[in-house]
Chain A
Amino acid sequence: MEWSPIILTFQLALITTVLLLFLGIPIAYWLAFHRTRFTPLFETLVSMPLVLPPTVLGFYLLLAFSPNYGPGEWLDQWFGLRLAFSFEGLIIASMIFSLPFMIHPIQAGFKQLPSSLIEASALMGKSSFTTIIRVLLPNIKGPLLTGIVLAFAHTIGEFGVVLMIGGNIPDRTRVASIAIYDEVEALNYASAHQYSLILLGITFLVLLLVYSINGSYLKSNLR
């Protein structure tokens, strides 16, 4: 057994989660407070990964990333970037795939706050940015944590998308879930067991830690 698939998995999950957090907060804010004719369309797009088979998403991303087609060709020509079968490509795919898991809890958190908080802050002369940072986010710590944990856990569990656009390149795109599949195919059950147990153990501990923190946080705030 090698450690690199495990390390790669957690690197991918960590980077995806951090980037998604920064991307997710403004999108969730916009969806929660600015209803326009197009809002249902955006909500649908954000939620698509929940129901779409990962292979479908992976297939289209593969086409989009390919240097033979429009977007991939553009990226290749202007930035020399080839996303198909690369770690960077995996990050972008994971972000799309885990988007609803980050956005939904944060959006719901924003919505349960009374709108008078935002209005009071505006009437005291504060911009939306200041209001989000100082008033809204500190009051939705629970939903934020939920979004972070779900996006992280979901990225670790990803298989279909990664296989479609990442392939199985050691040290670059072979994450743990794919390594397990590979070992089982090769009938190396011992090795598959090791990967599986490590993933099982670590994800269990991460979730346990988060729920304990979240639980005591809620308790101390409910009084």
Chain B
Amino acid sequence: MIRAKLKKELNQGNLKIDVSLNIKKGELVTLYGESGAGKTSLLRMIAGLMNPEEGQIKVGEQIWLDSKKNIYLKPQHRKIGFVFQDYALFPNMTVKQNLAYSGADSNRLHELSELMGIHGLLHRKPDTLSGGEKQRTALARTLLSDPEVLLLDEPLSALDTSMRKQLQDLILKIHQEFQLTTLLVSHDLGEIFRLSNHVLKMENGKIIAEGSPMDLFTDRKISGKFQFIGEIVAIEKEDVVNVITLLIGNHPVKVITETSNEEGLQIGDKVLVASKAFNPILRKIH
């Protein structure tokens, strides 16, 4: 569906993007990497908001870009839905006017605003909405412009955890409903595991690994039945052992490790906790 080969130098040559991509139709692919790895620039090149020095982009049978043949399709003519980190809602228009801006007919507008849970907000201005409501509106507006490709640039990074969960569900729902080829930028591992089954890992402008989230972020050699990904929030040194507090999802969990085991671990590190699951306590929840 999307085939792209792109080369671009950024920040006076400090970042050299050199990427080739092949995304299948209807797939939801995540782009993962440190900030400054070139993820947003890659998205902007696909959307036509930035031109590469060299490259090709082919979507379906249509050529969007070919630097050798001097073809540069304008953003206006690429069927792209782009969701920005800052939502990019037009402050002078109501939610309804924002949704209608691309020229969608009013039946679809009402249908989709129903689906996105913003039907009650149609006459409000964007500055009276919460972050989650703004992002729902931005997503709905993007879908109404009938894109073939959906690009989501860290769409949920400004939201709190519970809002994130709701919107992740919504993104999944949209993806199932519309089957849009989607490229999502995220550095939240939980989010990636929930939303996507194919990850591209980017570093210094290059894709250094790709595969399923399990392949990329966990060590398959571990035969444990329980495994979670968490973030270290505290390390307390005791006599022989260390007590490490992890945040798994929303829950703080204390894990005891032997001193030799904690080498190189720091607060803020993402870690995999695994345990062999014999004799666990199971209790029914009422």
Residues of chain A touching chain B, judged by Cβ–Cβ distance below 8 Å, are: 114, 116-117, 119-127, 134-135, 138-139, 223
Contacts and interface: CB of A to CB of B under 8 A. Distances in A.
Contacts of B47: 119, 123
B75 A119 contact: yes
B84 A119 contact: yes
B92 A123 contact: no
Contacts of A134: 90, 101
> Do most interface residues of chain B lie in helix, strand or loop, or is the interface mixed?
loop
A136 to B, nearest CB: 9
8 contacts: A116-B86, A117-B88, A124-B101, A125-B102, A125-B103, A126-B101, A134-B90, A139-B90
A136 B74 CA distance: 20
A114 B195 CA distance: 29
Given A120-B82, A121-B90, A123-B145, 17 more contacts: A116-B84, A117-B88, A119-B47, A119-B75, A120-B84, A120-B88, A122-B74, A123-B78, A123-B80, A123-B81, A124-B145, A125-B76, A125-B102, A125-B145, A134-B90, A139-B90, A223-B127
Residue from the set A114, A123, A135, A223 with the largest chain B CB neighbour count within 10 Å: A123
Interface string B68-95: 0000001111101110101010111000
Interface string B176-208: 000000000000000000000000000000000
A147 B200 CA distance: 49
Nearest to A120: B88
Interface residues of B, number: 23
A134 B76 CA distance: 16
B86 A114 contact: yes
Given A116-B86, A120-B84, A127 B92 contact: no
B82 A119 contact: yes
Given A123-B47, A124-B101, A223-B127, A114 B88 contact: yes
B163 interface: no
A122 B75 contact: yes
A123 B75 contact: yes
Contacts of B101: 121, 124, 126, 134
B49 interface: yes
A125 B128 CA distance: 27
A143 to B, nearest CB: 14
A122 B76 contact: yes
Contacts of A135: 90, 92
A212 B81 CA distance: 42
Interface in B35-83: 47, 49, 74-78, 80-82
A123 B82 contact: yes
A139 B84 CA distance: 19
A74 B23 CA distance: 62
Contacts of B102: 124-125
Given A119-B82, A125-B102, A223-B127, A139 B92 contact: yes
Interface string B96-129: 0000011100000000000000000000000110
B158 to A, nearest CB: 13
Contacts of A120: 82, 84, 88, 90
Contact of B88 (A116, A125, A126): A116
Contacts of A126: 76, 101
A123 B82 CA distance: 7
Nearest to A126: B76
A222 to B, nearest CB: 9
Contacts of B92: 135, 138-139
A163 B225 CA distance: 91
A110 to B, nearest CB: 14
